[in-house]
Amino acid sequence: MKIIFATGNQNKMREIREILADFSDEILSMKEAGLSPEIVEDGETFDENALIKARAVYREQFRLTGERALVLADDSGLEIDALGGAPGVYSARFMGEDTPYDIKNAALIEKLADTPREERTARFRCAIAAVLPGGDELLTDASVEGLIAYEPSGANGFGYDPILFYPPRGCTLACLTDDEKNAVSHRGKALRKMRELLADKLYLLK
């Protein structure tokens, strides 16, 4: 079954393809599907933004091809408790979309300069929305808990991975391989929940 994932982020596509590999061998990004709908991510929660993206891509795909596809979208971000949950749904826009992550990461660490270890709690959160070919909608979400590190470390992953220290492994998420991260990450867990829901809903093999 053809799945269109409403993102242009190649890092996310790599993770998504790995997790849904045995579910579909045709997982296209919006760009690969030739779609570029205007998407205004003005939701106040990850759930709302994931649904906004999935609905926009579903409508555009139908408008352009007359085909109803299975469309998935995610919205994710970093919540830092000491900053009242910021950057949260603004994670991508924090300090500007085009600002390199080493600068964003350094700025967040600086904001927590006087914050003791026990108050450095933070998490990545992810919501996954699906619009099924018949128009039904599904939502899942998950998080991965950690602490904001005192300095960035690790060369894998992307975005804020180098500053989310993951206590069970004693290193940041950027120290984990792709497979190790997928096994514990917010996106990995939310996608696997979605995979289960889709399998039940579409009577596919799990």
Q: Which is nearer to ligand IMP, 84 or 134 (CB)?
A: 84
Whole-number Å distance between alpha carbons of 121 and 169: 16
Q: Which is nearer to ligand IMP, 93 or 201 (CB)?
A: 93
Angle, CA of 33, 61 and 140, to the nearest 5°: 90
Is 75 among the catalytic positions? yes
**Contact call for residues 78 and 104 (beta carbons, < 8 A):** no
Reduced to 3 states (helix: H, G, I; strand: E, B; else coil), residue 134 is coil
Reduced to 3 states (helix: H, G, I; strand: E, B; else coil), residue 58 is helix
Residue numbers of the site for ligand IMP (CB under 6 A)? 9, 74-78, 91-92, 124, 157-161, 185, 187
Residue 68 Cβ, how far from ligand IMP at the closest point, in Å?
24
Residue 205 Cβ, how far from ligand IMP at the closest point, in Å?
28
Which of 22, 42, 75, 102 is catalytic? The answer is: 75
Q: Which is nearer to ligand IMP, 191 or 198 (CB)?
A: 191
Residue 200 Cβ, how far from ligand IMP at the closest point, in Å?
26
Q: Determine how many CB atoms are found less than 10 A away from the CB of residue 182.
A: 19
Active site residues: 75
